[in-house]
C-alpha cells in the first residue's frame, strides 16, 4: 500500500462520482485516504442541504461503506490537537488535526485558501486541489487509473454511465485538468 496519505476534505467527498473515483484509486493503493467522523458529518450535511431528496439513510449507508472498505481511513484521537491550531476558519481546524494525526502529506480540498501553506508547512502538510491531486495519480499510474475507472463504471447499473459522461461530470465539478488527462487516456485505446 502507498504510504502517501491524503486527507479528503468534506467538499471533495460531497460528489458521489468524485468520491467513488478517489476510493477506487485508494483501493488500488495509489494513495492512503484519511477522513474523520467530523468530515463525514460535514459532507453529509452538505449533501442534504444541496439534495434534500436524498434520504439520510442512503448517506449513512455510503459513509458506512466507505469506512468498511477502508477501515484505516477514519482518523480518531485528533480532537486533542484542535485547540492549539489556528486557521482562517476555526471550523476547519478538525481537518488539519485529522491530517496531523494521520501523518498526511496533503489535504485534498477545493478550498485551498482555507488551509494556508505557511500554516500547514509547519506540520509537513500542504493543501492540494483535487484536480491537481487526481492529475498526479493519472500521470503516475495511467493503466491502473484506466482499469479501475472502467471496472467502477461497469458496476454502475443505476444509472449506467460511460467514461465520457463520467469525465464530463468531473469537468463540471471543477476538475478540468483531470478531465483532459482522462480523455487522453481513454482516447489512447
Binning pLDDT at 50, 70 and 90, where does residue 1 land?
Answer: low
Q: Which stretches of 1-97 are assigned E, i.e. beta strand?
A: 5-8, 32-36, 74-75
Mean pLDDT of 72-76: 96
Q: Tell me what pLDDT residue 31 has.
A: 97
Q: Tell me what pLDDT residue 86 has.
A: 94
Q: Tell me what pLDDT residue 155 has.
A: 87
User: Where do the CATH 3.40.50.1010 domains begin and end in the chain?
Assistant: 5-129
Q: Say how far apart CA 182 and CA 117 lie, in whole Å.
A: 28
Q: For 93-146, how does the pLDDT look when each residue is reduced to its tens digit (9 = 90+)?
A: 999 999 999 999 999 999 999 999 999 999 999 999 999 999 999 999 999 999
Q: For 55-66, how does the pLDDT look when each residue is reduced to its tens digit (9 = 90+)?
A: 999 999 999 999
Give yes or no for residue 162 having a pLDDT over 70: yes
Lowest mean pLDDT, pick from 34-43, 126-135, 159-168: 159-168
Residues, the chain: 189
Asked: is 5-129 a CATH 3.40.50.1010 domain? The reply is yes
Q: For 79-97, how does the pLDDT look when each residue is reduced to its tens digit (9 = 90+)?
A: 999 999 999 999 999 999 9
Q: Tell me what pLDDT residue 180 has.
A: 96
Phi/psi at 129 (5° precision): -65, 145
Q: Tell me what pLDDT residue 132 has.
A: 97
Cell of 48: 442534504
pTM of the model: 0.94
Q: Tell me what pLDDT residue 3 has.
A: 84
- Strands 5-8 and 126-128, by their bridges, are unpaired
Cell of 26: 485508494
Amino acid at each position: 500500500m502507498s504510504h502517501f496519505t491524503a486527507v479528503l476534505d468534506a467538499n471533495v467527498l460531497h460528489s458521489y462520482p468524485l468520491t467513488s473515483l478517489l476510493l477506487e484509486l485508494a483501493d488500488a493503493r495509489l494513495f492512503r485516504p484519511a477522513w474523520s467522523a467530523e468530515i463525514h458529518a460535514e459532507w453529509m450535511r452538505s449533501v442534504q442541504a444541496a439534495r434534500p431528496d436524498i434520504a439520510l439513510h442512503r448517506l449513512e449507508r455510503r459513509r458506512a461503506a466507505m469506512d468498511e472498505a477502508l477501515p484505516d481511513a477514519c482518523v480518531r484521537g485528533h480532537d486533542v490537537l484542535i485547540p492549539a491550531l489556528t486557521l482562517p476558519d476555526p471550523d476547519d481546524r478538525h481537518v488539519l488535526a485529522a491530517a496531523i494525526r494521520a501523518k498526511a502529506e496533503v489535504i485534498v480540498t477545493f478550498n485551498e485558501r482555507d488551509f494556508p501553506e505557511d500554516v500547514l508547512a509547519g506540520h509537513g502538510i500542504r493543501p492540494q486541489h483535487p484536480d491537481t491531486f487526481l492529475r498526479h495519480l493519472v500521470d503516475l499510474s495511467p493503466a491502473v487509473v484506466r482499469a479501475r475507472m472502467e471496472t467502477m463504471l461497469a458496476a454502475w447499473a443505476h444509472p449506467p454511465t460511460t467514461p465520457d459522461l463520467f469525465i464530463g461530470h468531473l469537468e463540471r465539478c471543477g476538475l478540468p485538468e483531470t478531465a483532459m488527462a482522462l480523455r487522453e487516456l481513454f482516447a489512447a485505446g
